Amino acid sequence: MFLTTRLYLLSTIFLLAACGDWRSAPLPFPTPAQHDLVVLVRPGPLTHDGEEGSVVGRLERDLAEAFAEELGVSVRYKIVDPAGLDEAIADGRYHLAAAWLSPLPEQGIAATPPLFMTRDVLAQHEASLPLTQPEQLTGKTVHVMAGSRQAATLRQLAASVPDITVVEVSQGTILDLLERLGERQIEYVVMDGQLEDMANQYVPSLRTSLRLSEEQPIVWLLGPHPNSELATRANAFVERIHSDGTLARLVERYFGHVRRLRQTDITKFLGEIETTLPKLLGYFLAAEAVSGLDWRLIAAVAYQESHWDPNATSYTNVRGIMMLTEETADRLGVSNRLDAGESILAGARYINILRDMLPDEVKEPDRTWLALAAYNIGPGHMNGARTFAKQLEADPNAWYDMKRILPLLAKPDYYKRLKAGRARGGEAVILVENIRSYYDILSRNKTVPMAAKQPFNEMSGMSGISTKPRL
């Protein structure tokens, strides 16, 4: 028996060696009973947060999870740092490399059709003289993330433009690097153009004026010797999500809100985080403890409603830091709408009430975004908009579709059919998108007191909504 086993192992190794490097032999097709989908990732704001066992969402991670769900299998992530990425890709012990990568045909690495198109751009501070030609980088120092496509772009550029000093940074993320740019610690950063709008939320002084590459595809790499059945399924998956709207919905979930705020809005908000937020932080944390909602979400709603002014009053007599109507305040037992603590706690409770009114099939984060729209227009108008969505063959459970439906509540052909009458549904959309941006900024901002900081989720629009039990 022992001899038979040894002979079997030796023959297996011989066969693998005959096929090439044994390490790069294709992994077995993932099946529910035996094998996970092995996904090679590197940390980044579009890929993975870099923590083992993390459930924090990222755009490309969620795509991999959707593909695994289609296959009926679980995902096992192999997280590699930038310095080890090239070796891990060549090694081939993965099913997919989902790390915001471009094709590598010169290395014999198979790939799916493009998921996205992007290009490399030069970022600089708005106060610096804009560069418009690569030759203007002569004598300049440019920072870039190590192991990235942008680092390769810079190395190619350095061959034709003399005296460029390239600093490849292996610690932190590209957003950390861009924050250093915003603080004028460094002059230039080369980044992926897809990140610009998101990065502007955190670094409003960032500007891009120079493209350093043509558009390039972002793909999943399938390795030097891909499993043929898996490659077929992956290619079909990519083509399907382009055609059926799945990809567009996911992109909206991460990026649909990031172009709403103006630079002046972001700059003012960052100032209020330093000056006003510390005075109110205790109230937001208390509301989180009672409601289970992330305090940063509650604070984002409060800022959108009143700019954190406890005495705010509108012409319609909506009052307080959470801008409660008199009817809502009475319902929630608020004795003084101008009391910041009472208002914040009541506002958080009301958000939960609105979330609970939605059907069970509405999942997060759409559930919270729809509840916040109802916070603005009322649950009656939200129910009417959901009815219109069904009639128009849109998804009433998806914020992606409801963003298009809600503005119809201001049109006579629609609101005359509602018992609740006309509503400014477009205003509700803007409110929710602004809150999403304020929430993202609060999630990352370094001036928020550390005692109140929770694990950072750069793309909190996907899965950063707390679902802790409510007291």
Query: Which residues are catalytically annotated?
Result: 305
Q: Are 191 and 253 in contact (CB under 8 A)?
A: no
Q: Are 368 and 297 in contact (CB under 8 A)?
A: yes
CA distances from 56 to 396, 431, 439, 446, 462 (A): 25, 25, 15, 19, 8
Separation CA 434–CA 427 (nearest Å): 11
Separation CA 148–CA 212 (nearest Å): 14
Question: Which residues, 6 or more positions from 70, have their beta carbon under 8 angstroms from its beta carbon?
Answer: 233, 237
Q: What is the dihedral of CA 425, 427, 428, 431, to 10 degrees?
A: 170
Closest CA to 303 of 257, 338, 270, 256: 270
Mapped onto helix, strand or coil, the DSSP state of residue 216 is strand
Mapped onto helix, strand or coil, the DSSP state of residue 77 is strand
Closest CA to 209 of 95, 125, 98: 125
Separation CA 184–CA 200 (nearest Å): 15
Separation CA 263–CA 139 (nearest Å): 31
Mapped onto helix, strand or coil, the DSSP state of residue 260 is coil
DSSP state of 118: E
Question: Which residues, 6 or more positions from 205, have their beta carbon under 8 angstroms from its beta carbon?
Answer: 125, 126, 127, 182
Question: Which residues, 6 or more positions from 307, have their beta carbon under 8 angstroms from its beta carbon?
Answer: 272
List, in sequence order, the alpha helices (H) in 76-167: 82-91, 149-158
H and E: helices and strands count for the chain: 19, 11
Q: Which two tokens stand for residue 444?
A: 């990352």
Separation CA 434–CA 303 (nearest Å): 10
Residue 159 exposed, middle or buried by CB count within 10 Å (0-12, 13-18, 19+):
exposed
